[in-house]
Amino acid sequence: GAGVSQSPSNKVTEKGKDVELRCDPISGHTALYWYRQSLGQGLEFLIYFQGNSAPDKSGLPSDRFSAERTGGSVSTLTIQRTQQEDSAVYLCASSTGGSLGYEQYFGPGTRLTVT
């Protein structure tokens, strides 16, 4: 598989629990993005990685959200003490560069449901 993969595809968790979402970008892609799509909303930018560095974390909704990327490849998005408003589809995308004009390739997303 040459595309962006995400796991799990679906996650149901109880309010207050921590969850970890994983993204495997396309090999060689240096830029990696996390987005969130809540019901009836557009794609909300969360965080961007260039290599292992995250130049801008301002899109993260609260300090319960964190993300890391290791080896310039796999990224994990962690949500601590989940709340019902965290329920959404979390999408990861990667591209060959971080600047304008580079097409982003999206994974299928992780649907998170917080009960």
Decide: is 55 part of the binding site for other proteins (CB under 8 A). Answer: yes
Residue 45 interacting with other proteins (CB under 8 A): yes
Q: How far apart are alpha carbons 96 and 25 in whole angstroms?
A: 10
Q: Is 8 in the site for other proteins (CB under 8 A)?
A: no
Which listed residue (19, 79, 91, 114) binds other proteins by CB under 8 A? 91
Q: Is 106 in the site for other proteins (CB under 8 A)?
A: yes
Cα angle 93, 95, 96 (rounded to 5 degrees) comes to 160
- d(CA 99, CA 20) in angstroms, rounded, equals 28
Q: Which is nearer to other proteins, 14 or 28 (CB)?
A: 28
Name the amino acid, one letter, at 37: Q
Beta-ladder partners of 88? 112
Shortest Å distance, C-beta 99 to other proteins: 6
Helix-then-strand count for the chain, H and E = 0, 11
Kindly list the residues in this chain that would bind other proteins in the complex (CB under 8 A): 4, 31, 33, 35, 40-45, 48, 50, 55-56, 59, 91, 93, 98-101, 103-109
